[in-house]
Structure 1
Amino acid sequence: MARESAGKSARKKTAGAFDIRNVIGALLSVYGIILILVFAFVGNDAKGDKHDNLWAGLVMLVVGLVFLAWAWLRPVVVKEVPESEKTPPVQ
C-alpha cells in the first residue's frame, strides 16, 4: 500500500494538450506547411522570382516546431489539490 501512494506522488500531471504552446506550435506548423504547398503547386508570382510563400512557410514551420519541442521538453506541471482541500459545490 505504501508503494502505491509513493508511485502516485512520484508521477506528475502535465497540462498536455491544454498547454498553449502546443496549440500555437500546431497552428504555426500547419500554416507553414500550407504556405510551402501553395508555393510548390501555385508557383511563383507573375511579376518575377519572388519566393515569399516559401520563406514565410519555412519560418512559420520552424517556429511552430520550436514551440512544439519546447512544450515537449519542458512540460507544465499541474499541481494536484488533495481531496481534503477541495471545497464542496454550493447548492
Structure 2
Amino acid sequence: MTDQHGYSEHDVQREVTELQQKSATAARIFDLRRIIGGLFVVYGVIVTIAGITDGQAAIDKAQGVNINLWTGIAMLILGVFFLVWLKLRPAAPPVPPEEGGAE
C-alpha cells in the first residue's frame, strides 16, 4: 500500500531503520567517554614528556616532587580508564518509540 506521496510502507520502514542506525552510530562516535578519554591520554602524554625532560630547577621549585611526571601519569591512567570503560560498556542504541501507543 502506498501513501499520498507514493511511498510504500516498506520504503518508510527502511528509511526509519536507516535513520535509527545512523543515530546509533552518531551516539557511539560522540560518546563523551571517548572524547574525555582521548583528551586525557593526549594531554597525559604531553605532560609526562614534560615531566621526563624537566630539569632539577623545576623539580626543586615544586619542593622536590616531579609534579609534571606524576600529573602526566595520572592523566594517562584516567584517560585509559575512560577508553577501557567505553570498550567494556558501549553505548546502548536508542530504543525506537512504540507505534500505535496510547496518546
Report TM bin, short chain: 0.5 to 0.7
- Stretches (4+) displaced over 6 A: none
- TM-score normalised per structure 1: 0.66
TM-score, scaled relative to structure 2: 0.59
Ranked by relative contact order (alpha carbons within 8 Å, sequence separation 6 or more), the top structure is 1
Instruction: Report the aligned-residue RMSD.
Output: 2.6
- Tell me, in whole angstroms, the C-alpha distance in 2 between the residues paired with 1:43 and 1:70: 36
Number of residue equivalences: 74
**Does residue 1:76 correspond to 2:91, yes or no?**
yes
Largest Rg, 1 or 2 = 2
Identity %: 36
Structure 2: runs of 5 or more not aligned: 1-16
Q: Kindly indicate whether residue 65 of structure 2 is the aligned counterpart of residue 50 of structure 1.
A: yes
Match of 1:29 among 41, 44, 58: 41
Q: Flag structure 1 segments of 5+ consecutive residues without an equivalent.
A: 1-7, 86-91
**Structure ranking higher in strand proportion:** 1
